[in-house]
Structure 1
Amino acid sequence: DTIRVHIKIKEGEKERVQVFQGIVITKSGGGNTASFIVRKMSFGIGVERIFPMQCSSIEKIEVVEQGKVRRARPFYIRALKGKSLRIQKDERTRKVVDGDVTETTTIEKTTASASEDVTVETASSSSTTEVQTEANA
């Protein structure tokens, strides 16, 4: 997932919010010690930052885009650069409509694949009956 983390940074007496946007590489720990690592490319240099889940300096975390990877911890992206660093988008995406977050699902694809399975099964059962009738004749 690509996320955007809003962090409060104190510079002298002033406080400001800085945004760190990148790809989540790993989530580790549990409870109060849970943390996650976010990696981004900044001017061609990879920057990783470890964020604790329970931290008062984190103002909010936004999910920008959900991606599909075949590994639980995609450390292999550390070696990638340029266009190969892009992660394939997940088919389920979130859309913001009038401030409400709605989730589009892939129910249509599952029903279509279920109907294809049914047609395949009926076609195979009719072909077996044809074979049996030819054998009986």
Structure 2
Amino acid sequence: MSNIITEIEKEILPQNDFKFSIGDLVDVHYRIKEGNKERVQIFSGVVIARKGAGSRETFTVRKVVEGEGIEKIMPVHSPFIEKIDVKKEAVVRRAKLYYLRGRSAKDTRLKSKIIAKKK
């Protein structure tokens, strides 16, 4: 049984090779189907957690809209994710940033790394 699962994971994993880590400010381009139409919705926020491994790996993105915190848990290797753009990288010393939940939007700012622009 486990051999079948590992073979399926090998086929799925190379499709999405996203490079991001905890604390990064990202734009997730997520494909949504509404009736007959498909559109791409951009969810922008801070990655506060990454869980699992292989095809079962998920990540949590948090953003604050009008004073309310919104979190989305998405599979890393979902076929609905078109791309993940890293807008800002952060320096964090924790694997999970759940402590950001109790803070205001202004208090959730993280120390950022300086990223060289690619030519």
* TM-score of the aligned structures, taking structure 1 as reference length: 0.66
**Which amino acid in structure 2 is aligned with residue 16 of structure 1?**
R
Higher relative contact order (CA 8 A, sep 6+): 2
In structure 1, which of residues 68, 71, 76 is the aligned counterpart of residue 99 of structure 2?
Answer: 76
Runs of 4+ in 1 over 6 A off after TM superposition: none
- In structure 2, the gaps of 5 or more residues are 1-23
The aligned counterpart of 2:37 is 14
* TM-score of the aligned structures, taking structure 2 as reference length: 0.76
**Which amino acid in structure 2 is aligned with residue 42 of structure 1?**
V
- The alignment of Structure 1 onto Structure 2 pairs a total of residues equal to 96
CA 1:39/1:94 → structure 2, altered by over 3 Å: closer, same or farther? Answer: farther
d(CA) in 2 for partners of 1:62 and 1:94? 15
On the 8 A contact 2:64/2:105 being kept in 1, the answer is no
In structure 1, which of residues 46, 67, 70 is the aligned counterpart of residue 90 of structure 2?
Answer: 67
Structure (1/2) with the larger helix percentage: 1
The aligned counterpart of 1:121 is none
Q: CA deviation at 1:51?
A: 0.7
- In structure 1, the gaps of 5 or more residues are 98-137
d(CA) in 1 for partners of 2:38 and 2:116? 32
Structure with larger Rg:
1
Q: CA deviation at 1:96?
A: 4.0
RMSD value over aligned CA atoms?
A: 1.1
